Amino acid sequence: MVYKRHFTKSAFTIVELLVVIVVIGILAAISIVSYTGISQKAVASSLQSDLSNASTVLKMYQIDNSAYPNSVTDCPTPSTGNICLKASSGNSYPNYSANNTSNPQTYSLTAINNGQSYTVTNNSKPISLDSLASAPLSPVADWLATPTGDHYGNYYDLVTKKYATVTRATPKTIFDPSTSKIYDVPANYLGVNPRSDGKNGSEGVIEEGRTNYLLSSSFEADGNSDGVSDNWAYWANYPKGTPTSSLVSGSVHGTKAQRIQYTGIASDNYLIFYQGSAVGTFAVGDNATGSVYIKGTVSGTTAAGLMVLAYNSGGTLLNFVQSAPIALTSAYQKVSLTYPNLPATTSYVSLRVISTPMASGDTVDITVDAVQLEKGTFATSYIPTTNTTITRDADVVTVPTSNWNGNASTILGITGPSSNLNDGRIFEWVNAALSNYSLMRTLPASPSLSAIGATVEGGTTTTITGYRVFGLSWAQGAKVTTYNNGIQLNQSAGTCPSFSDGNATAWIGSYNGSYLWNAPIQRLIVYNSVLSSGDVSNVTNVIQNGP
């Protein structure tokens, strides 16, 4: 009998096959993640390299032409004043701006690729604009105050990776309390400070146009070497002795400040240091506000203060207002005083830095700088003058609205403290064809937001304390809901009308250069839907302490 031998073939079990498939999947996932990470790093390196090279090209162009180019994407054959910057594959330069009227001249250039964004300026290395995540719940716009230079910058949309458009033909300044210094801001940029409560992020300050009516607001020139800056003087026979005056270093803006030292003698008078506007610069009904940066000490019974005085064209004093005593410190502080509704026949105004009546042995040692005299009910940022008045244009900040939903939206705005709100708006969204308005202005039949400072109209100055997250939601045919720090305040009595997005324009911090907010704004976030109260609260909790 012949026996057949049987051979058994070995095979993988189902469990073994599943294990192999899972292992292959894990390895593939790791490979994909690794590749993605390597690819993102390669893109970042490419963007930084392009911007570093572009910075060199721009600076060489400035040396050769005494100005930066008007455009960097005039390719392939640029016209006069423009250049053609080459970018690596996949990279592009969507945003470039230059200011050739400032000193020094400045530029800002942004490069993007596959959602990654980097920016470079005349005084910075390439900086990533993607380290900050957009707000939760997928907004269609998330405008964040972003520095692009030393204390100046713009609003940058974390969603579309684009900058807002800033229009202001003249330079301005911004004061940073953390350094006690005033910084110059080139035309067509915003003044940008670190957030003033110490939390993360920056804040843009959008201001109205103003004029400094003093004939000399700084203390750089002393033509006769008497220690008193040109166009400034002491009031005759006040005080009885002779003050010691000197122009000293350590200015809040510029190089020199005015130091005044005096020791009282028996039966002494006021110490009065003053300058006035030109005849015909003020009139009945105007509001005049004087401001000064001041530091120092006083002793005895005397105190430092400000006075604003109204005169007719013949030099006759009509009336005046006087501040409370100033609590002086060793650091500069800004002190202001308003004379509201100037009297009949007013023609010009004088601003005085004074001490109250002194006794023998009382001492005054104060330093003043960056003085300003404006029309308005509060002081704005400093406008330097030499021997004539100087006017600063208003900040106008516009943003695109093409992807927004005008008939259903929620908008949140983060603003800092200020006592300078007068006819102010955090945000304005206007459809010119329909004449309809959106946040942060009162909609038809919607509640007034003046109680929380989101709309201030009618000439009343309103104070905002601390950082606030203001919000408003609306939908066509529904009630309008307002929020303050994530808490629902109220709803409108009526419903919101139709508000198409066609032909719409939006402004941050103003309405086309009027109704200026005059307070710090850190962020504005736009959603294409009506968020629930819970969602508004959640977003507020995420963003209120900074990005």
pLDDT surpasses 50 at 437: no
Measured CA to CA, the distance from residue 76 to residue 264 in angstroms comes to 74
pTM above 0.85, yes or no: no
**pLDDT, greater one: 6 or 32:** 32
Specify the pLDDT at position 402: 82
Q: Which of 386, 410, 439 is the last residue of a domain?
A: 386
**pLDDT, greater one: 9 or 217:** 217
Could you tell me if residue 482 is inside a domain?
A: yes
pLDDT surpasses 70 at 503: no
Could you tell me if residue 218 is inside a domain?
A: no
Q: How far apart are the first and last CA of the chain?
A: 89
DSSP state of 45: H
Same domain, 151 and 290: no
* Residues 352, 271 contacting (CB under 8 angstroms): no
| CATH number of the domain within which 399 lies | 2.60.120
pLDDT surpasses 70 at 459: no
pLDDT surpasses 60 at 430: yes
Measured CA to CA, the distance from residue 71 to residue 56 in angstroms comes to 16
Specify the pLDDT at position 455: 46
pLDDT surpasses 90 at 316: yes
418 contacts: CB under 8 Å, gap ≥ 6: 463, 464, 518, 519, 520
Same domain, 297 and 357: yes
DSSP state of 5: P
* Residues 272, 235 contacting (CB under 8 angstroms): yes
Same domain, 260 and 376: yes
| CATH number of the domain within which 341 lies | 2.60.120.260
Specify the pLDDT at position 157: 93
- How does the average pLDDT of the chain come out, rounded? 85
User: What's the whole-number mean pLDDT along residues 35-52?
Assistant: 80
Specify the pLDDT at position 447: 33
Same domain, 519 and 407: yes
User: What's the whole-number mean pLDDT along residues 434-450?
Assistant: 38
User: What's the whole-number mean pLDDT along residues 269-275?
Assistant: 94
Q: Of the ranges 103-112, 140-149, 407-416, which one carries the lowest mean pLDDT score?
A: 103-112
pLDDT surpasses 90 at 372: yes
Measured CA to CA, the distance from residue 160 to residue 163 in angstroms comes to 9
Specify the pLDDT at position 519: 86
Residue 2: pLDDT band (50, 70, 90) is low
SS3 35: helix
* Residues 264, 361 contacting (CB under 8 angstroms): yes
In 3D, which of 324, 46, 384 has the Cα closest to residue 184? 384
Domain enclosing residue 122, as ranges: 15-129
Instruction: Report pLDDT digits (tens) over 343-368.
Output: 999 999 999 999 999 999 999 999 99
Query: Number of folded domains in the chain?
Result: 3
Same domain, 487 and 531: yes
Same domain, 184 and 73: no
Residue 500: pLDDT band (50, 70, 90) is low
CA atoms within 13 A on the CB side of 413: 28
Specify the pLDDT at position 346: 98
Could you tell me if residue 115 is inside a domain?
A: yes
DSSP state of 180: T
Strand order across the 288-299 sheet: 244-248, 257-263, 363-375, 288-299, 333-339
pLDDT surpasses 50 at 49: yes
Specify the pLDDT at position 310: 98
Specify the pLDDT at position 36: 54
Instruction: Report pLDDT digits (tens) over 507-535.
Output: 898 888 888 888 899 999 999 999 999 99
**pLDDT, greater one: 484 or 431:** 484
pLDDT surpasses 90 at 5: no
SS3 547: coil
The residue type of 495 is T
Same domain, 154 and 104: no
DSSP state of 8: P
Q: Of the ranges 49-58, 104-113, 386-395, which one carries the lowest mean pLDDT score?
A: 104-113
pLDDT surpasses 90 at 204: yes
Same domain, 317 and 250: yes
Could you tell me if residue 438 is inside a domain?
A: yes
pLDDT surpasses 60 at 462: yes
pLDDT surpasses 50 at 453: no
Same domain, 336 and 468: no
User: What's the whole-number mean pLDDT along residues 392-419?
Assistant: 88
Residue listed under structure tokens 């301005």: 172
Same domain, 124 and 137: no
Measured CA to CA, the distance from residue 4 to residue 9 in angstroms comes to 16
Same domain, 486 and 447: yes
Specify the pLDDT at position 1: 54
Q: Of the ranges 29-43, 127-141, 278-292, 318-332, which one carries the lowest mean pLDDT score?
A: 29-43
Same domain, 40 and 104: yes
User: % helix / strand / coil in the chain, to the nearest 5?
Assistant: 10, 40, 50
